[in-house]
Amino acid sequence: MLELGYTPGTVRGMLKVLGQLGRWMAGEGVKPGQLEMAALEAFLVARRARGDRRPASMGELRQLVAYLQEAGVMLPVQAPVLSAVEVLLGEYRRWMVADRGLAAMTVLRYDTLARRFLTARVSPTDELGVADLDGSVVARFLLGECGRVCLGSAKGKVAELRSLLRFLHVRGYTPRSLAESVPGVAGWRETTIPPSMPQADIERLLESCDRATLDGARDHAMLMLLARLGLRSVEIARLQLEDIDWRAGDLLVRGKARRDDRLPIPDDVGAALAAYLAVRGRQDSRSVFLTLRAPRRPIRADLVGDVVQRHCRQAGVPHVGPHRLRHTLATEMLAAGAALSEISQVLRHSDLATTAIYAKVDLGRLRQVTQYAAVLLARNPGPMTLDGTNTWLLGDIDRTVVVDPGPDDAEHLDAVAASGPIQWILLTHGHSDHSAGARRLHELTGAPVRAMDPAHRYGEEGLAEGDAVDAGGVTVRVLATPGHTSDSLSFIADAGEHRAVLTGDTILGRGTTVVAHPDGVLADYLDSLRRLRDLGDLTLLPGHGPELPSAAAAALQYLAHRAERLDQVRAAVERLEPDASARQIVEDVYADVDRAVWPAAELSVRAQLDYFRTQR
């Protein structure tokens, strides 16, 4: 017990209880090897009857029980006989850990829903609850689950149920996969600005730790990992001594979905870790962070949240969760000029679209994306505009090309005009969320507005395939990319080693775009995507959403999505009446999409139906 971290006083108390237990066993005729849990409970009842002022509880005796079982004095607890569905759930839990690499709390959540789904279906003729499963059964269960939870939790239920159904098919319990029959939950993602906290409050959190004590040194090291490196709670809990490479100055972060990354250790983080480990001393466990009370064991992820809450109280700052420090790190990096791709690398996001939530922090603030490209986010978020319209500024401080001034918003346009001498204003297409502010910006700066559509030109000729303008060390060439609209253009910005393509609404930084039939034509749109694919790994600067690292990769994803949608619409046409309306097809194919974008989806469906007719 001393090796487990118990104090000498606690050990003496436990030895006293052990002596009392031995005398009770002798008096009751209980021989070594015959002691059971029921007898141990009877011993505790007898001690209370004798008037012990503070008899030990069963919880306090758990280490004694473990020792007695190991020594053969106490019979091991017999494992209960498991039902068939419990055996199946055990197999499911092992599959989630071994095959999918899910975290313990995720496994617990997925197991809870699976237990509810299967046990409700168990019957004398179906001991596993998997017989006669079909899409209608799945949909009814999901509707019942979603009716009692919020939108975010409902989306979680979809993922949990799909995981179970995928497992049942992979392991042969169902003849076909029903995961695809789980309907999606419509909802506009990432509608809020990510919350952060003032840097002064973070410093007060760190200063509230008494680093001369074991608990203070441990808590300070945890808070430093949260605030300086943006680690998740579970990543802190998983940290092992061998993960820290002191010579190389980095540490291994064991992240979500078995993703491992090495991050450099800032000097102050390294000093905090070293100070904690010096106070912690040598322990049997290889985990970096251990509990303070005996038995000393690795911490659980939720303890990190308890540490943050405790120090919020001590520092006198508003209570926050550990993830708030991660958000704060990202917003501070953004304010310092870091690109979203760099923030994504630090936070270890598997998809840049996840990092896109931080783009909303840039409302009204110019953000440098590449050496010759900066963006100003307009204040017009919505289902079709995502976080808002990206107004791009290309060039240097002496001469600038503005691409898509955005909506007619005085505050936004004043900020664009104040960014530097503007030589040209270019439009990717004529939709109002890109072009409505062009006239006012022209009046503010005197810069001519060039566009393919004459209705949107001010003081200059139009734009066509192959045209080029020069400003501030950047040559901007026009690439005709019709499809979203008939006047859609992309611009290749060439600054020598730094090249990028601005795609307007032809490719977005997140999600997919609409083919605005009848002005937009799907065949033209597919050809435009192929042209963008052939540009290779140019940085893609979209009209909405975050920048993307590769135009080719984005175009290939869009082409695959369009092929999938064409197959779905074709199947819907065959499934529904021959004269089914575009709206009926939308309701069938786009059931998992936010209804707010159904009118736009209807335009795309009309474009796809027209595509089928022209391709015959």
Report the catalytic residues: 232, 256, 323, 326, 349, 358
What is the CB-side half-sphere exposure of residue 3 using CA atoms within 13 A?
2
Asked if 96 and 107 count as a contact pair (C-beta separation under 8 A), the reply is: yes
Q: What Å distances lie between residue 68 and 41, 63, 65, 301, CA to CA?
A: 14, 9, 5, 31
Please give the Cα distance from 215 to 293 (Å, whole number): 10
Please give the Cα distance from 304 to 596 (Å, whole number): 39
Please give the Cα distance from 234 to 107 (Å, whole number): 13
Closest CA to 429 of 598, 526, 544, 558: 544
Closest CA to 512 of 549, 555, 481, 547: 555
Asked if 224 and 203 count as a contact pair (C-beta separation under 8 A), the reply is: no
Closest CA to 255 of 189, 346, 316: 346
Asked if 503 and 529 count as a contact pair (C-beta separation under 8 A), the reply is: no
Residue whose token pair is 């052990």: 18
Give residue 149's region: left, alpha or beta (phi > 0; psi -120 to 50).
beta
Please give the Cα distance from 63 to 414 (Å, whole number): 70
Q: What Å distances lie between residue 188 and 125, 294, 494, CA to CA?
A: 43, 47, 35
In terms of C-beta distances under 8 Å and separation of at least 24 residues, what long-range contacts does 96-103 make, across chains too?
96/163, 96/167, 100/163, 100/257, 101/257, 101/258, 102/257, 103/234, 103/256, 103/301
Asked if 448 and 442 count as a contact pair (C-beta separation under 8 A), the reply is: yes
Give residue 301's region: left, alpha or beta (phi > 0; psi -120 to 50).
alpha
- Sequence-ordered alpha helix ranges (H) in 458-550: 522-533
Q: What is the DSSP letter of 394?
A: E
Q: What Å distances lie between residue 40 and 1, 48, 71, 80, 601, CA to CA?
A: 20, 13, 16, 19, 68
